[in-house]
Chains A and B, each alone.
Chain A
């Protein structure tokens, strides 16, 4: 059930990329897609009655949550930020040149 809700969030982001006309809405849709993938990866690695994957001096930590998806998602978060910065710089340049964020207008004007 939780996995299915995660996929519904993924589909909301996909809808934003496919249907919307505003360039900023497309960028927001891609951000939502990223959040859904991070959540799904960490959800697969979760363990019932698990603890955070950090050793403690006072207690003995027996069963830990899976640390490998967490390492992958840590890298993925920073990569998502880099891609967002590049997309926004391209969007700002497009606005300087064409005067609008509408993608149908940008396709028509050849300049």
Chain B
């Protein structure tokens, strides 16, 4: 890729990642939530791969770390659901304290579920992109 694309990517990729995390964390107060935040985080990594090429960008995030992160996200979501079963007898109960509305630390279990879904969706979609574009034997990139 040309120099302009590389310079602009270097300046904006961190901001895109931060914006995705912001949309995910405020999912219970403003529109957005775990899914949109996860896709934006995946798009920031894909942006880096598209601008700098596959060999350079796999130092930051390669497919092995992505598979581990995706499984961790899924397990975290399932364990949050099982916590309700262990402590109170009802599967997927909202058991943390509710707090005041309009605060960041409110709504019980919902922000933690958003974090788990963001990690899972982001890592999974980055993995799909990596598998489709860096598919070496017999194909073209």
Complex: chain B residue closest to A88, CB-CB: B132
Whole-angstrom distance between the Cβ of A56 and the nearest chain B Cβ: 9
Complex: chain B residue closest to A89, CB-CB: B132
Whole-angstrom distance between the Cβ of A29 and the nearest chain B Cβ: 21
Given known A54-B30, A74-B35, A96-B139, contact A89–B121 (CB-CB < 8 A): no
* Partner among B35, B102, B139 whose Cβ is within 8 Å of the Cβ of A57: B102
Q: Number of contact residues on A: which range applies?
A: 10 to 19
Q: Number of contact residues on B: which range applies?
A: 10 to 19
Q: Which residues of A contact B68 (CB under 8 A)?
A: none
Indicate if the CB atoms of B31 and A85 lie closer than 8 Å: no
* Partner among B121, B128, B138 whose Cβ is within 8 Å of the Cβ of A78: B121
Q: Which residues of chain A from 25 to 60 have a CB within 8 Å of any chain B CB? A: 52, 54-55, 57
A-B residue pairs, 8 tightest by C-beta: A85-B128, A78-B35, A57-B102, A96-B138, A96-B139, A89-B132, A74-B35, A54-B31
Q: Which residues of A contact B31 (CB under 8 A)?
A: 52, 54
1/0 contact trace for B106-131 toward A, CB 8 Å?
00000000000000010001001001
Indicate if the CB atoms of A92 and B121 lie closer than 8 Å: no
- Which residues of chain B have a CB within 8 Å of any CB of chain A? 30-31, 33, 35, 39, 101-102, 121, 125, 128, 131-132, 135, 138-139
Q: Which residues of B contact A57 (CB under 8 A)?
A: 102
Indicate if the CB atoms of A92 and B101 lie closer than 8 Å: no
Complex: chain B residue closest to A52, CB-CB: B31
Q: Which residues of A contact B102 (CB under 8 A)?
A: 55, 57
Complex: chain A residue closest to B129, CB-CB: A85
Within the assembled complex, what's the spacing in Å between the Cα atoms of A54 and B31? Answer: 8
